[in-house]
Amino acid sequence: MMRRILTILVITSVLMISVFIQALAADATTVKMVFWPGPEAEAMQKVVDYYNTNVSPESGVKVEMVLFGREGFFEKEATILAGGSSEVDMIFTTSYIIEQHAPYFESLNEYYANPDLVGEGKKELFINSVTQGFTMDGNLYTVPTDASITVLLYRKDLINRLISDASWREKYMALAKEELGIDLEPKYPANWNWDDFYVTCLFFTKEYNDESPTKYGTALQAKAMWPNAKIWTAILRSCNGYWFDREGMPTFNTPEALKAINMYVNLMKKEAASPGSVNYEYNGPNEAMKTENAAMILQWGVAFNELSNQEKAPLIWDKVAIAPYPAGPFGHTCWLTSMGVGLSKFSKVKEESFKWLAFLSTQEAMSIYGKNGGVPPVTEVLSELGKEDVIFRYVEDYLKNYAFNYSGTSGVKTLDILRILSTNISAACALTVTSEEALKDTQDQINQLLK
């Protein structure tokens, strides 16, 4: 009899707790977050689901993710913000558009300083180069969630043979002497400068080496599309070039910019880069490597997982390796695109929204995000993920040592500058204008843009 009574009491207690949790959930405040569609949103949905199931009963907040199509995504966000809409509470942003968004975002400094809201979250969790991209005048406007970097992807089997094969070494050194007039020995890509890159591209082009297993040394992202200008800008930075001088004036008509653009143009003139490069964006170079038409590419780091996948790249999947961009006077570089979420000034539930953002600022949340396809800019998470997937080890290293971005330097014109750059770089690569003309046009057009 006593056992039956205890059983009834236990069942009753469980039911009461369940009812209590459901009641809390029903009373929870729903906050809405606009997020970038695609793999990032799929990974973030796992974090949202975990939060709504496990944290919402205590926080009193439930999260709903709002997705738009990629086409016109930022234009839709701009309409929401310009209209002062409170329909959504948090807005997806990036380091190349944060300057447009920041006037509509809450500074998160005071929210992070509030122990009643921040809980276990902390802004110091994130790697510094990423939070810098979202900080202006000392104010952090975004919780970082993801980081994308540029890298050099190359065929390690070809480089290994170049270094170990005496006849190949001799041919390489003769080519360097003939083309650049310098003594240059083969070396591993982590130790390259831009001369090493250039001569290696020539060496793995059949025009210059009939033993080359690839038709071209490389494939460039030279289509007139604004994301391609980021790939090139990392070359500019390594050459000690910059978009602006200390007075904020554009600096594209410079020896540093000329060296950077000629890296593309000379490869096109020498036919050491695939002629399709003038029509390539992200996918083109990947296909060139997959089909053994290119020995190496300057590319976004995420491409490594595609090129090292046996089903997607059966000819080369076990032959692909990663290195930083070759070093110029400035050293190795990588363009960093940081992604994250900002708190709208027009939200009517700011504190509730920040409870969710505070959870995103925990190792637990970022671990879930990373395990489901995201690239969280958090040292501990990247180190853990790197035990299973090598790309995360490189991301951690490059974010700490080579990453840069241009937030805070170009007003609200970053995208427009990238568009101008990509158009003129593409024209130079198509050999319809000279490098000097392309840079002069860039300088004039950006001067006009910033008037």
Lowest mean pLDDT among 2-6, 9-13, 352-356, 403-407: 9-13
Report the domain count for the chain: 2
Residue 269: per-residue pLDDT: 98
The Cα-based distances of 11 to 3, 6, 18, 180 in angstroms read 12, 9, 10, 82
Residue 27: per-residue pLDDT: 77
Write out the two tokens for 366.
């970022």
One domain, residues 96 and 206: no
One domain, residues 308 and 382: no
Residue 17: per-residue pLDDT: 39
Give the residue-averaged pLDDT of 110-128.
Answer: 95
Residue 409: per-residue pLDDT: 54
State the sign of the Cα–Cα–Cα–Cα dihedral 104, 109, 112, 113. Answer: negative
Give the residue-averaged pLDDT of 392-405.
Answer: 94
Q: Percentage of the chain surpassing pLDDT 90?
A: 85
Residue 26: per-residue pLDDT: 53
pLDDT of 408 above 60: no
One domain, residues 117 and 258: no
270/205 Cα distance (integer angstroms):
10
- For 86, the 3-state DSSP assignment is coil
Candidates 197, 444, 138; CA nearest to 327 is 197
Residue 20: per-residue pLDDT: 40
One domain, residues 298 and 436: yes
Write out the two tokens for 63.
């999260």
413/270 Cα distance (integer angstroms):
34
pLDDT of 64 above 90: yes
284/170 Cα distance (integer angstroms):
32
Residue 405: per-residue pLDDT: 80
Candidates 242, 229, 249, 215; CA nearest to 427 is 229
What residues make up the domain containing 266? 149-335+407-449
pLDDT band at residue 71 under the 50/70/90 scheme: confident
One domain, residues 318 and 365: no
**Which amino acid is located at 253 in the chain?**
N
pLDDT band at residue 24 under the 50/70/90 scheme: very low
pLDDT band at residue 415 under the 50/70/90 scheme: confident
pLDDT of 10 above 60: no
Write out the two tokens for 38.
């695609």
14/409 Cα distance (integer angstroms):
58
Q: Domain of 86: which CATH number? A: 3.40.190.10
One domain, residues 374 and 387: yes
One domain, residues 292 and 359: no
Average pLDDT score, the chain: 92
One domain, residues 135 and 185: no
Residue 379: per-residue pLDDT: 97
One domain, residues 6 and 22: yes
321 forms beta bridges with 154
Cβ(97)–Cβ(74) below 8 Å: yes
pLDDT of 412 above 70: no
Pairing type for strands 139-140 and 143-155 reads: unpaired
Q: Percentage of the chain surpassing pLDDT 70?
A: 93
One domain, residues 170 and 69: no
Lowest mean pLDDT among 49-58, 66-75, 280-289, 313-322: 66-75
- For 236, the 3-state DSSP assignment is helix
Give the residue-averaged pLDDT of 304-308.
Answer: 93
pLDDT of 383 above 70: yes
**DSSP type of residue 190:** G
Residue 191: per-residue pLDDT: 97
One domain, residues 202 and 126: no
pLDDT of 193 above 90: yes
174/181 Cα distance (integer angstroms):
9
Between 249 and 437, the higher pLDDT residue: 437
Residue 285: per-residue pLDDT: 97
Residue 14: per-residue pLDDT: 38
Candidates 319, 283, 316, 325; CA nearest to 302 is 283
Give the residue-averaged pLDDT of 422-448.
Answer: 97
**DSSP type of residue 346:** T
One domain, residues 96 and 74: yes
Instruction: List the Cα angle 310/286/399 in 5-degree steps.
Output: 95
pLDDT of 72 above 90: no
Query: For residue range 316-339, what is the model confidence (pLDDT) as tens digits?
Result: 999 999 999 999 999 999 999 999
Who contacts 68 (Cβ-Cβ below 8 Å, separation ≥6)? 34, 37, 76, 77
Q: Within 10 A of 13 (CB to CB), how many other CB atoms are there?
A: 10
Residue 411: per-residue pLDDT: 58
Q: Within 10 A of 439 (CB to CB), how many other CB atoms are there?
A: 23
pLDDT of 60 above 60: yes
